[in-house]
Amino acid sequence: MAPAVLIENLQKRYGDVYAVKDISFKVEPGEIFGLLGPNGAGKTTTIRCLCTLSNPDGGKIEVSGISAIAKPTAARRRLGYVAQEVALDKMLTGRELLELQAALYHLPSAFAKQRIDRTISLLGLREYANQKTGTYSGGLRKRLDLAAGLLHQPDILVLDEPTVGLDIESRVVVWDFLRQLREAGTTVVITSHYLEEIDALADNVAIIDKGVVIAAGTPSQLKDKVGGDRITLKIREFSPIDEAEKAKGMLEALPFVQEAIINTAQGNSLNLVVTSQSNGLITIQESLNSAGLPIFSIAQSRPSLDDVYLAATGQTLLDAEIAAAGIRDLKAEKKKSMR
């Protein structure tokens, strides 16, 4: 059986800037596949190329064995796409909007009515279906957008940041719905920068950074590869780099410390990978105290997908988000100054 989605060596640039440098991954039928990465990593560009909304500059894209580049119309028939930004006609009721969507897909009227009733029920919209969408909350708007993407029963549902800005209750509704789709055999491709979302939902994941895949596998496989427990500590709230370097050198010499990274974006904190050891925290504290180095904070935890990202890039996903936001702000200020 052909993969539900196959992407090989995908490239896309805008002018001299590469949004996607070299991305490859495979999605098997009936699984939830997660694309994880910070804003600006290339997730949305990859998804737009997959859904034939943008032409790549290089690489291969197949949907159920069909080239999305050579045969975009045939590929679209197998895809449902829900964009990050919800665009609904505020003057239509939820049901009217779905009826319009069904007409655009040329669905037979009897089948369309059945599908509309089914999706409204599945997404908990029956109470709101005859209200104008302009009165909907953000969570209801997103649920209606999901319903619209599912009307034609696509083999593959592609979701770009489906829970951004949603409250916890709405996020849980979306998560439960995606699990139901998987159980029914629908393949789901989801982009997100929420670690817990991908960890909770995805059967397999590709982590993207700066237009390339830096890690891929099941969430458990990726976390196991990082190895050991994680210890995060700060010498001071904002440690001088020389103190952080001194502490790093001392801690790397401890037999149970496998790796030590200085996280400059978080006040030169230290991120350690350690083997399981009951007195590890005590040993670290004693070692630093003997060298006259204080401890502002220290914590131990099991590996997470953020640790995978940290090991590959030297910064956490949150750090990358903050850095990307800073770059966007600088560009905005530059544009203002040129006016």
List of domains in the chain: 5-223 (3.40.50.300), 228-302 (3.30.70.100)
Span 132-161, mean pLDDT? 91
Is the predicted pLDDT of residue 235 greater than 60, yes or no?
A: yes
Q: What pLDDT score does 247 carry?
A: 94
Q: Cβ(247)–Cβ(290) under 8 Å?
A: no
Report pTM: 0.77
List of residues 6+ apart from 336 with CB closer than 8 A: none
From the list 22, 77, 41, the residue with the least C-alpha distance to 7 is 22
Cα–Cα dist 61/228, whole Å: 37
Span 252-261, mean pLDDT? 91
Is the predicted pLDDT of residue 21 greater than 90, yes or no?
A: yes
Q: What pLDDT score does 326 carry?
A: 61
Q: Cβ(86)–Cβ(165) under 8 Å?
A: no
Structure tokens at 314: 């030297």
- Range among 59-63, 78-82, 89-93, 330-334 with highest mean pLDDT value: 59-63
Cα–Cα dist 256/273, whole Å: 9
What's the burial of 324, exposed, middle or buried (CB within 10 Å: 0-12/13-18/19+)?
A: middle
3-state secondary structure of 53: coil
Q: Is 7 left (phi over 0), alpha (psi -120 to 50) or beta?
A: beta
In this structure, the strands spanning 269-274 and 257-263 are antiparallel
Q: What pLDDT score does 335 carry?
A: 55
Cα–Cα dist 105/86, whole Å: 19
What DSSP designation does 265 have? G
Q: Cβ(306)–Cβ(208) under 8 Å?
A: no
List of residues 6+ apart from 128 with CB closer than 8 A: 94, 136, 140
Residue pLDDT, tens place only, 109-123? 999 999 999 999 988
User: pLDDT tier at 339 (50, 70, 90 boundaries)?
Assistant: low
Q: What pLDDT score does 317 carry?
A: 80
Cα–Cα dist 251/267, whole Å: 18
